[in-house]
Amino acid sequence: MPLKLQRPAFLWALLLALLAHAGLVFWPAEPFRMPEPSRLQTTQVMLDDLPQTDGASVDGQATAPGIATMPQDAAQEPGHPAAVDPEPPLSLPQSHSPSLPQPELLPDPVDQQPSVITEPIEQSVRSGSLVSRSLEVARLEAELQSRESLLSERPRVRRITSGAQMSTEEALYLRQWEARVERIGNLNYPEEARRQNLGGRLRLLVVINADGSIREAQLLTSSGHRLLDDAAIRILNLAAPFAPLPESVRAEADVLEIIRTWQFGDGWQAN
């Protein structure tokens, strides 16, 4: 027998269903909230002066005393994998190898023996150099003094030549001197020169001191015959001493130089 519902009950059930659906549709819905992402905890290891161990590995996820943890959001959007922030690099302690003492650089050994030996040698060399210099200076001073002494002792000279101007006293003295030399020369003319009939002219320098003695006799120009040259010097020495120098000459000079040309031939003659 078919089931038959009573119309009033059916209507009430339909009405209640409509009201329930309307309530669900028009009821103000609460805003949808995304579930808070779970907090991923990352660990930052703060290693402070850990001793270095051979073959030991450091685990970035391990925790130990002195480790600080920092929460980081690990939420991901739907459909995307969870983005995990990269862990900060581990701050590994620098290895503190025991500092080896630096070897102290010692100065090169200096052999003192050579210096001990060379120092007296150098001093002796310097002393010898000073001594040689002192001797050289003394020698030069002595030579200078000798020259000064010779200059101071060098006599004042009055020279008379054939063309020189002479005072009356000088001219008179020169004529007397020539006359004496010619007379002595003719008396002592060399016999060998007479036999060989030798002749010639020679030039002589005669230096007469203030007292009339001969200071020096020098041959300036030879006659060409050694016999005649030697005879001229011998005749001058035989004629000395001569008369003392005139007062006018001695007032100005200590010695008198006479230069004359002598002729050998028929006799002994001064020109």
Q: Quote the tokens at residue 34.
A: 């995304």
Q: Is residue 114 part of a domain?
A: no
> How many whole angstroms separate alpha carbon 131 and alpha carbon 197?
66
Q: Is residue 241 part of a domain?
A: yes
Q: Which residue has the higher pLDDT, 185 or 269?
A: 185
Q: Is residue 218 part of a domain?
A: yes
Give the model's confidence band at 75: pLDDT under 50 very low, under 70 low, under 90 confident, else very high.
very low
* pLDDT, tens only, 165-196: 888 999 999 999 999 999 999 999 889 988 98
Task: Return the minimum-mean-pLDDT range out of 12-16, 40-44, 143-147.
Answer: 40-44
Q: Is residue 89 part of a domain?
A: no
Q: Is residue 18 part of a domain?
A: no
206: which residues sit within 8 A by CB, 6+ positions away? 214, 216, 217, 236, 257, 258, 259, 260
Q: Is residue 217 part of a domain?
A: yes
Please state the domain count of the chain. Answer: 1
pTM (two decimals) = 0.44
**Using an 8 Å Cβ cutoff, are 74 and 84 in contact?**
yes
Question: Domain containing 184: what range?
Answer: 157-270
Q: Is residue 140 part of a domain?
A: no
Mapped onto helix, strand or coil, the DSSP state of residue 14 is helix
Task: Return the minimum-mean-pLDDT range out of 41-55, 166-180, 224-238.
Answer: 41-55
Please report, for the domain that includes residue 181, its CATH number. 3.30.1150.10
Considering only CA atoms, which of 214, 200, 215 is closest in space to residue 268? 200
Q: Which residue has the higher pLDDT, 254 or 68?
A: 254
**For the chain, how big is the Rg over CA atoms in Å?**
74
Q: Is residue 59 part of a domain?
A: no
163: which residues sit within 8 A by CB, 6+ positions away? none
**Using an 8 Å Cβ cutoff, are 268 and 185 in contact?**
yes
